[in-house]
Amino acid sequence: MEDKLLHPIGDSNAFKRSYEAFLQTDSIEWLVIVYKNDSQLSKLKVLCTEVNEQSPPARQREMIWVKGGEERQDSVWAGLHAFPDKVTHVLVHDCARPFIRSTTIALMVAEVIQGRAVSVARPLKDTLRLRTGPIVDPILPSITRTIDRSNHWLMETPQGAPKDWLSDGFKKAREDGVFITDDMAVIELCARPIGMIDPGYPNPKITTPEDFFYAEFLAQS
């Protein structure tokens, strides 16, 4: 599969839609874009130039480009420390979630600048079941346990916090050898509280080729 961030979604793509949402948020001042290789970097820069040329000067942002690492947490660590010292609060967004809206980003900024950690998330609606036996083949019967789904949340992005909270958390994760899958995990490592914002609209992550069918549907609707 080609780069999922650049794969067409209607007349746009995942990166461009995400980039535009952040440009349209007045409270965003700096953008750090983490890229995976030089080929992707050149394509992303072309897209940014196209969007910037169609945007009014007030929508322009200070931008920094930084190469990511092997794991997600390495890339976030690199991006986090690319910000200038004067930036004290940050949001981290996975551009594979191209349907985030500027209204949600603005709401998150308002929370984060008050010294809070917050994430886009949504309450679990499906039944959650745990298999307690070894998994050889999922179709084979196994002892299971139904887990109370109340107060369980599915994490999405953006996720944000004071920059030093994230820096301290990622540093601890690196020192302790902890593998994380989202940025609020490092906030948990520092025993800090986390707020949740349900966006009230679909904010899916594009992971597999099949996900583009749903993304096309959302783009057209």
Residue 3, in any domain of the structure? no
Q: How confident is the model at residue 113 (pLDDT cuts 50, 70, 90)?
A: very high
Residue 130, in any domain of the structure? yes
Residue 2, in any domain of the structure? no
In the sheet that 194-197 helps form, which strands lie side by side, from edge to edge? 89-92, 153-162, 117-123, 194-197
Residue 105, in any domain of the structure? yes
Residue 90, in any domain of the structure? yes
* Chain mean position to CA 166: 14
pLDDT at 162 exceeding the cut of 90: yes
Number of structural domains (the chain) is: 1
Which pLDDT score, from 0 to 100, does residue 203 have? Answer: 98
* Residue 78 three-state SS: helix
Q: State pLDDT tens for residues 193-208.
A: 999 999 999 999 999 9
Residue 66 is part of which domain span?
8-220
Residue 175, in any domain of the structure? yes
Q: State pLDDT tens for residues 50-77.
A: 999 988 877 789 999 999 999 999 999 9
Residue 186, in any domain of the structure? yes
Q: What pTM value is reported for the model?
A: 0.93
pLDDT at 116 exceeding the cut of 90: yes
Residue 140, in any domain of the structure? yes
> Cα(136)–Cα(150) distance, rounded to whole angstroms?
29
- Joined tokens for residue 147: 């887990």
Q: How confident is the model at residue 1 (pLDDT cuts 50, 70, 90)?
A: low
Which pLDDT score, from 0 to 100, does residue 123 have? Answer: 96
**Phi and psi for 105 in degrees, rounded to 5?**
-60, -45
Which pLDDT score, from 0 to 100, does residue 4 have? Answer: 92
Residue 79 belongs to a domain with what CATH number?
Answer: 3.90.550.10
